[in-house]
Amino acid sequence: MPLVTFLPHAEHCPDGMTVEAAPGTSILDLAHDHHIEIESACGGVSACTTCHCVIRKGFNSLAEADELEEDMLDRAWGLEPTSRLSCQAKVGDQDLTVEIPKYSLNHAAEAPH
C-alpha cells in the first residue's frame, strides 16, 4: 500500500506523520482516520476550500481535479500548482507527501472529528 506523509503542521499534526493508505481513500478521510483534524466546513463535498492541501510528492499519481474542484481551488488561500482539495484527492498507487497550509478560509471552525 502507498505511504502518505503529512508534513508537520503546528496545529493539526505538530510532528508530522506517515501512514499506509488504501488506494481510493481521500486524503481528508485518511487524515481524519489518524486524528489529523484538517478542516472540512462543507463535510467533504467539494463546496468550500477549508480542506485545501498541497501535494509535495506524488501529485501526478492523483486523478485530475474535476471542474468543480478547480473552481473551488481558485478561491483557496495560498494556491499552488500542486494544490488539491483533500476531500477530492484520492490516494493512487504511489506514495504522497501532503502539506496542510498554515491558513484556510473558514469563518467558523468545526469541532474535531
**Span 11-46, pLDDT tens digits:** 889 999 999 999 999 999 999 999 999 989 999 999
Question: How large is the average pLDDT for residues 66-91?
Answer: 95
Distance CA 37, CA 98 (A): 14
For 82-108, how does the pLDDT look when each residue is reduced to its tens digit (9 = 90+)? 999 999 999 999 999 999 998 765 544
Domains defined along the chain, listed by start: 23-99 (3.10.20.30)
Beta-carbon contacts of 58 under 8 Å, excluding residues fewer than 6 positions away, are: 2, 92, 94, 95, 96, 97
Q: What is the pLDDT of residue 106?
A: 53
Flag whether pLDDT at 3 surpasses 90. Answer: yes
User: Which residue in this structure is represented by grid cell 478542516?
Assistant: 39
